Structure 1
Amino acid sequence: MTNKETLRVLVWGENRHEQVEPHVREIYPDGMHATIAAGIRENLGDGARVTTTTLDEPEHGLTKDVLDDTDVLVWWGHAAHGEVDDEIVERVHQHVLSGMGLLVLHSGHWSKIFGKLMGTTCTLRWRSEQDRELVWTVNPTHPIAQGVPHPIVIEQQEMYGEYFDIPAPDELIFLSTFSGGEVFRSGCTFRRGHSKIFFFSPGDQDYPVYHHKDIRRVIANGVQWARTDLPERKVPILLRYNTGEFFTGHGYTGPIGD
């Protein structure tokens, strides 16, 4: 039985590249999801219970019971976004609106769940040619930025560049620059319903980014920040859509016109 103060974290991984590409399996022999989870445990210690699940598990490992027992969901996907069942996406969406925190990593920007929450295409420019990425902190007072250097230096990484088709972030924490001169909003927060969402772009299957100690620290910080600690999860509902009681004007006794 987990103490109620323990942060319950679920790392969801697509786990496809690791199965079919030997060079990815060499970097992440237990899967990227396992490496991401290890980084969170490394930074949060006994304060977090970190578990993992993957795309090919029944219901993608995202059953109602699993999500009910999750404070923060961490999402990594890339090659198989279309295989994520729409019914499961809707289930995750409802949990997010109800207060489950969400971290979306790297190519998760094109996941169904992130697009549904953002309401935009979430497209961007990219180039995979072993670029050097510098992750600059532009909001040093934010909890997610605590304990990380300025900048974080990633020697090998895929380039992500603007324009990034997302809504204006509630908070911009990190801005990345690349060897080709590109810039990218690499660390953004959003609020949807009762939830907090953090998108963090560094991390690609072809490079050992999730072994980088500073990237692991940012993800762990993001997990802590995204926890909402609501006493009860409840989806915000407009009463009229729930009951069918639309305003018709009947019974109104106030002034009409001028």
Structure 2
Amino acid sequence: MTTVTVWNEYRHERENDTVGEIYPEGIHTVIATALESEGFETKTATLDEPEHGLPEDVLDETDVLMWWGHAAHEEVEDEVVDRVHQRVLDGMGLIVLHSGHYSKIFRRLMGTTCSLKWREAAEKERLWVVEPSHPIADEIDEYIEVPEAEMYGERFDIPAPDTLVFTSWFEGGEVFRSGCCYRRGNGRVFYFRPGHETYPVYHDETIQRVLANVASWAAPNDGPTPDFGNAEPLEDIEMTDDRSVH
């Protein structure tokens, strides 16, 4: 069974009445409950827990980490970011949600500013499936319509995705790369745009279906573990070479 840890700042829900009404037990709880109903083993972690809820033993048992952050990116300790980064390189999947594009871990993995345009106007969003054969798009119609959303617009300062699964159009006219797949080391990374905290996006069954598909796609597989460094030859060869400086 794939183990998914859902990480959340869990600040807005406790400090803003509007967000608290939509997610009384936190965004992380809604997502974890939805994934659990799809057969995943789920855990949650939040910013204000010791080690942000992500000590080594938790990460070692995590196949896929989902990350939602917004107002407190800089409060995430670099030691924890280092730990998550290494786990991704080792094979853990990472799903970065909405405003997590500015998180320390996503910016490190992308190597860019991850900046974008934005606007809060409760406008309609259509997420078009531009790669319908991809497993993340399983059981999804040609597009997903979100009635009220925060706009994110291009240019989105990220590397070109390995695969782009969703592209968004907004009522105000902008477009945005909203479903981006990457490989970093042995790990799979996916950025998924929808999820502003003042709208009930994560209660939407289609969005929950996408998150379940992403968790399945991002989970580590059973492929071989590569060895690095100086290697003994597989065949019998002459090993003498006076030019070596090692």
Q: CA 1:238–1:170 in structure 2 vs 1: closer, same or farther (change >3 Å)? A: farther
CA RMSD of aligned residues (A): 1.6
- State the TM-score, normalized to the length of structure 1: 0.87
Match of 1:252 in 2: 243
Match of 2:150 in 1: 158
Tell me the matched-pair count.
Answer: 234
What CA deviation, in whole Å up to 9, does each residue of 1:77-102 have, x standing for no partner? 00000000001100000000000001
Secondary structure of 1:11's aligned partner: strand
Deviation at 1:187, TM superposition (A): 0.3
The separation in 2 between residues aligned to 1:92 and 1:238, in whole angstroms, is 23
What CA deviation, in whole Å up to 9, does each residue of 1:161-196 have, x standing for no partner? 100000000000000000011000000100000001
Secondary structure of 1:41's aligned partner: helix
2:176 aligned partner, one-letter code:
F
The separation in 2 between residues aligned to 1:99 and 1:86, in whole angstroms, is 20
The separation in 1 between residues aligned to 2:219 and 2:195, in whole angstroms, is 22
Match of 2:52 in 1: 60
The separation in 2 between residues aligned to 1:120 and 1:36, in whole angstroms, is 28
What CA deviation, in whole Å up to 9, does each residue of 1:135-155 have, x standing for no partner? 100000000001112210100
The separation in 2 between residues aligned to 1:112 and 1:232, in whole angstroms, is 30
1:7 aligned partner, one-letter code:
T
Unaligned runs of 5+ in 1: 1-5, 240-249, 254-258
- State the TM-score, normalized to the length of structure 2: 0.91
The separation in 2 between residues aligned to 1:61 and 1:233, in whole angstroms, is 28
Q: CA 1:238–1:129 in structure 2 vs 1: closer, same or farther (change >3 Å)? A: farther
After TM superposition, the structure 1 = structure 2 runs for residues 15-164 of structure 1, keeping only pairs within 5 Å, are 15-42=10-37, 44-45=38-39, 48-164=40-156
Q: Provide the identity percentage.
A: 55
The separation in 1 between residues aligned to 2:176 and 2:142, in whole angstroms, is 16
1:8 aligns with 2:3: yes
1:198 aligned partner, one-letter code:
F
Deviation at 1:252, TM superposition (A): 1.6
Deviation at 1:61, TM superposition (A): 0.6
Secondary structure of 2:83's aligned partner: helix
Unaligned runs of 5+ in 2: 231-240
Deviation at 1:229, TM superposition (A): 2.6
